[in-house]
């Protein structure tokens, strides 16, 4: 029979410390310092713990250090709403926004605690969403039932194998994206430095439209008739737009800016220049807001044009006005120059691009099934 514990009975729970001044950080020497923003990148494998900025032991700073096997998640700020839960792969200092849960491994395995907390979702402990934070006391009082170490090991193995399959599918998707990228470069060269083909302004490739916002004061402009796309629906790693959260009504559709399938939407107003020039294809008719410029392709292959935007994102960013907020107006956007190879070559690339997308779609469906299985296993073992 499983025994019930409070988390504080089977783990040491500690908050981090304020980040030291930049002069104390080193690239190659010392102990990594983990900030809340690092968790997502660590979980995705985009960075390794050893690649983080480091603090030397002999600097005698009063920092909070956690050992390998500590479970980390954010306890304050917007990061605390994200439920990014990470098993620390080595000794590290942690910032004050993070909490470290150091398990007593005689009672609970580190990875078993990791999977439990992913099921539990610590953000449920946030009391005020306007000022998100999680009290250490509430973390200490989380209750969980713990089976024998032998049973924990079996459960951890099941999740580990499931994660391995998920990671393999994600790798395959990334590889196919890279293949589409490489094929473009092989066929057309790098558009940033290409002199093989003439360059033309974007307005030569199709109709340019800037989105808008139908008047909010007329509430009946909004309903369920057509998706109203915002930059969040473009700022994803996906080829096609994600599903919008907000829709226009039939009345709002008449006032909105609409594009058909196979149009290209580009983020042209953003608070972060890194998001400027993000691009997505439409696979359905949509409306969109004023942060976005769209190209309805004419006499150009839409898949060629999409990949050109993806590879040559800097051409959009370089056209932006100065300042913290990146803005590329329609008048500037439509004059940005892209290479213009023969349409036959564009179409040849488009056919190969579509073949890759078909394969990618199958793998994405498989990935969704595996993620659903993972979620159901969390419910089965920890509910």
In the chain, % of residues over pLDDT 90: 89
Point out which residues pair with 65 in neighbouring strands: 93
- Cα–Cα dist 73/63, whole Å: 17
Asked whether residue 326 carries a pLDDT value surpassing 90, the answer given is no
pLDDT band at 180 (very low <50, low <70, confident <90, very high): very high
Domain-wise residue ranges, the chain: 3-146, 149-188+342-383, 198-340
What's the rounded Cα separation, in Å, for the pair 93 and 374? Answer: 31
pLDDT of 17 reads: 95
Higher pLDDT, 58 or 10: 10
Model pLDDT, residue 325:
67
Give the whole-angstrom CA distance, residue 199 versus residue 196: 9
pLDDT of residue 91: 96
- Choices 1.10.287, 2.40.30, 1.10.10, 3.80.10: CATH for 149-188+342-383: 1.10.287
The CATH label, of 3.40.50.10190, 3.30.1360.120, 3.90.220.20, 3.40.50.300, for the domain at 3-146 is 3.90.220.20
CA–CA separation, 231 and 234 (whole Å): 5
CB 313 within 8 Å of CB 273: no
Among 240, 159, 191, 202, CA closest to 319: 202
What is the predicted pLDDT for the residue at 283? Answer: 96
Instruction: Tell whether the model's pLDDT for residue 44 goes beyond 90.
Output: no
Residue 84 — φ and ψ, nearest 5°? -85, 105
Query: Which of 76, 68, 82 is closest to 96 using CA atoms?
Result: 76
Total residues belonging to the chain: 383
Place of tokens 């170490």: 149
pLDDT over threshold 80, residue 194 = no
Decide if 3-146 and 198-340 have a common fold: yes
Which pLDDT tens digit goes with each residue over 74-97?
999 999 999 999 999 999 999 999
3-state secondary structure of 247: strand
**Under CATH, which architecture does the 198-340 domain have?**
Alpha-Beta Complex (3.90)
**pLDDT tens per residue, range 213-269:** 999 999 999 999 999 999 999 977 789 999 999 999 999 999 999 999 999 999 999
């Amino acid at each position: 029979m499983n025994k019930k514990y409070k988390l504080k009975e089977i783990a040491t729970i500690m908050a981090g410390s304020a980040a030291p001044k930049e002069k104390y950080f080193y690239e190659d020497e010392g102990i990594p310092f983990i900030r809340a923003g690092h968790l997502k990148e660590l979980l995705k494998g985009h960075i390794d713990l050893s690649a983080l900025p480091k603090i030397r032991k002999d600097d005698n700073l009063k920092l909070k250090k956690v050992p390998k096997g500590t479970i980390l998640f954010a306890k304050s700020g917007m990061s605390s709403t994200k439920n990014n839960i990470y098993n620390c792969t080595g000794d590290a200092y942690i910032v004050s926004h993070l909490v470290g849960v150091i398990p007593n491994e005689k009672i609970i395995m580190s990875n078993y605690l990791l999977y439990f907390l992913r099921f539990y979702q610590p953000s449920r402990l946030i009391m005020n969403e306007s000022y998100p934070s999680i009290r250490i006391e509430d973390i200490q009082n989380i209750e969980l039932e713990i089976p024998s170490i032998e049973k924990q090991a079996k459960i951890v193995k099941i999740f580990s194998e499931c994660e391995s399959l998920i990671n393999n599918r994600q790798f395959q998707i990334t590889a196919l994206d890279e293949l589409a990228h490489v094929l473009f470069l092989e066929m057309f060269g790098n558009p940033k430095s290409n002199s093989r083909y003439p360059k033309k302004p974007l307005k030569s490739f199709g109709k340019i439209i800037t989105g808008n916002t139908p008047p909010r004061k007329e509430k009946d402009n909004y309903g369920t008739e057509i998706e109203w796309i915002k930059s969040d629906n473009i700022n994803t790693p996906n080829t096609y737009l994600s599903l919008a959260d907000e829709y226009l009504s039939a009345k709002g559709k008449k006032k909105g800016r609409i594009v058909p399938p196979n149009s290209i939407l580009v983020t042209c107003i953003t608070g972060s220049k890194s998001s400027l020039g993000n691009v997505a294809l439409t696979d359905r008719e949509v409306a969109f807001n004023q942060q976005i410029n769209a190209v309805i392709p004419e006499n150009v292959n839409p898949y060629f044009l999409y990949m050109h935007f993806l590879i040559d994102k800097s051409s959009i960013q370089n056209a932006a006005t100065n300042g913290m907020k990146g803005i590329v107006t329609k008048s500037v956007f439509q004059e940005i120059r892209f290479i213009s190879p023969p349409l036959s070559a564009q179409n040849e690339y488009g056919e190969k691009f579509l073949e890759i997308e078909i394969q990618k779609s199958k793998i994405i469906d498989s990935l969704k099934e595996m993620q659903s299985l993972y979620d159901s296993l969390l419910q089965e073992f920890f509910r």
